[in-house]
Amino acid sequence: DQSVCAPLPVLGRDVTVPLVTGGEVAYAALDYAASAPALQRVWDDVAAYAPYYGSVHRGAGYLSQLSTDLFENARRTVAEFLGCRAGDQVVFTRSTTDSLNLLARAIPADCRVFVFETEHHASLLPWRDAQVTYLDAPRTPEQAVAILERALADREPHGPALVCVTGASNVTGELWPVRELAAAAHAHGARIVLDAAQLAPHHPVSVTDLDVDWVAFSGHKLYAPFGSGVLAGRADWLRRAEPYLAGGGASRRVTRRTDGGVDVEWHDSAARHEAGSPNVIGAYSIASACKALTEAGFDTLVARERYLIRKVREGLAGVPEVKILSLFGDDAPRVGVISFVVEGWNSSHFAAALSAEYGIGVRDGLFCAHPLVRTLLGSDAQTQGECGAPEAAPGEKSLNAIRVSFGAGTPDEHVERFVTAVR
């Protein structure tokens, strides 16, 4: 099993952290779902390019031209990574949150949006200015499709519609039936955007194979540094929309009118939504990560991750106080994201102990998916939010959870130490 592949080299592998019990230990980053450590290969690529970077698009100098080429090549690499169709646009953004907010501004004024209540807030909240139908949490993938189909069939009148759905949950790690949901959306004349923030780092994502209209993801979860993201997909709504930001780079021609005002012609390309000096290093590092993952091979990466998931689940199965959170059941296919509660423990204290006593970095809270976590915990209690969840009284249900998440850079020792610590 172990022979499936070695972990990919990532930054921070040799970082040691102090323990309250004295001494130091190698940091075990088990919070990939929040931000994955950058691949060493990505860092090396960025370091090799850094001395040469120059302003893009408008510079005549050699380094400006080099940067412009790298930026536009990065767009092509990402398009290839995502299996984009001819005519699709790849817009570089700051993050998944940014990408989905951009799309929310680009949808037609009379568009109805359908979103499951189980979504991460980045997918749940950007549509608040639109007419939104929030869908109840399904308990099986088939139920998810049925709930969506029913809602789409009920919609009146038959104007534009958009479904927004996650590919893999940032709480349970469970895979959603994206292909089936896309088919249901299209059968009812709706479009679909895939939140691939958690899916893209773990599985190949092809807009063509999945038949989704747009996909959004973040560089910092795909083993690239912070500050860059992608929205890729159909050009028509993006081209018709007001630019996400008004400014240089998005405008093709700006003229003063005789009445004193200003007329603007905006670009039709992705540049329309990329006003301001673009984050070239961000785009370049995403492209580098796409290449590194493709070269490593998703078959191999998925096999290794399955091995780690099994190790964690088998380890936790031996601890009766541990309850793993799941919407679709224990056997549902998932990525390396596992949330759980420990009976008799406050989740925040538990996570703090993993850090202070074992040098393990996990996350606790509601994971920016408050309605989902409350459903999973069976808790109607209003919490104070992400970081300030109150303690459950003895014998009461937990109000927040612990999340362990891992991926391409995780060595066996990290998950073994985690299981030992929990035990």
Torsion of CA 292, 298, 304, 307, to 10 degrees: 150
Taking the least distance from each CB to ligand PMP, the nearer of 96 and 279 is 96
Sign of CA dihedral 80, 82, 84, 89: negative
**Tokens in use for 167?**
């590919």
Residues contacting 204, CB < 8 A, separation 6+? 298
Q: Which is nearer to ligand PMP, 97 or 347 (CB)?
A: 97
Applying CB under 6 A, the span of 53-61, 117-125, 152-160, 327-335 interacting with ligand PMP comes to 117-125
Minimum Å gap between C-beta 307 and ligand PMP is 23
Q: Which of 29, 106, 197, 281 binds ligand PMP (CB under 6 A)?
A: 197
**For ligand PMP, which is the closer residue by CB, 168 or 419?**
168
Among 75, 112, 120, 363, binds ligand PMP (CB under 6 A): 120
Write out the binding residues for ligand PMP, residues 361-400 only, by CB under 6 A. Answer: 368
Gap between the Cα atoms of 274 and 246, Å rounded: 9
- Which lies closer to ligand PMP via its Cβ, residue 36 or residue 293? 36
The answer to whether 164 is a known catalytic residue is: no
Min dist. Cβ of residue 369 to ligand PMP (A):
8
Q: How far is the CB of 120 from ligand PMP (least distance, A)?
A: 4
From 19-27, 194-202, 251-259, 276-284, give the range in contact with ligand PMP by CB under 6 A. 194-202
Summary count for the chain: helices (H), strands (E): 13, 17
Exposed/middle/buried for residue 353 (C-beta within 10 Å: 0-12, 13-18, 19+): middle
CA distance 183 to 188: 9
In the shown chain, the binding pattern of residues 54 to 93 toward ligand PMP, with x for contact by CB under 6 A and - for none, equals ----------------------------------------
Q: Which of 31, 45, 88, 195 binds ligand PMP (CB under 6 A)?
A: 195
Sole binder of ligand PMP in the list 67, 77, 96, 375 (CB under 6 A): 96
Question: Residue 174, exposed/middle/buried by CB under 10 A (0-12, 13-18, 19+)?
Answer: buried
Minimum distance, C-beta of residue 154 to ligand PMP, in the bound complex (Å): 27
Q: Which residues on adjacent β-strands are paired with residue 342?
A: 322
The answer to whether 317 and 29 have CB atoms below 8 angstroms apart is no
What DSSP string describes 107-137?
Answer: S-TT-EEEEETTS-HHHHSTTTTSEEEEEPP
Residue 335 interacting with ligand PMP (CB under 6 A):
no
Comparison of 152 and 200: residue with beta carbon closer to ligand PMP: 200
Q: How long, in residues, is the chain?
A: 423
Q: Does residue 95 interact with ligand PMP by CB under 6 A?
A: yes
Here's the x/- map for ligand PMP, 15-34, by CB under 6 A: it reads as ------------------x-
Report the alpha-carbon distance of residue 152 to residue 162 in Å, rounded: 10
Per DSSP, the three-state class of 260 is: coil
Tell me the closest approach of the beta carbon of residue 60 to ligand PMP, in angstroms: 35
Say if residues 311 and 336 touch (Cβ distance below 8 Å).
Answer: no
Q: Residue 279 CA to chain centroid, in angstroms?
A: 19
> Which residues are within 8 A (CB) of 100 and not within 5 positions of it... i.e. 6 or more apart?
122, 123, 126, 164, 193, 195, 216, 231
Residues in the interface with ligand PMP (CB under 6 A) total 14
Nearer to ligand PMP, 67 or 167 (CB): 167
Q: Which helix (H) or strand (E) holds 162?
A: strand 161-166
Contact with ligand PMP (CB under 6 A) among 111, 122, 152, 401: 122
In 35-96, at which residue ranges do the beta strands (DSSP E only) sit? 89-93
Give the x-and-dash track for 212-251 against ligand PMP (CB under 6 A).
------x---------------------------------
Q: Is 198 in the site for ligand PMP (CB under 6 A)?
A: yes
Does residue 170 bind ligand PMP (CB under 6 A)? yes
Applying CB under 6 A, does 97 fall inside the site for ligand PMP? yes
Residues belonging to the active site: 368
Give the binding site for ligand PMP (CB under 6 A): 33, 95-97, 120, 122-123, 166, 170, 195, 197-198, 218, 368
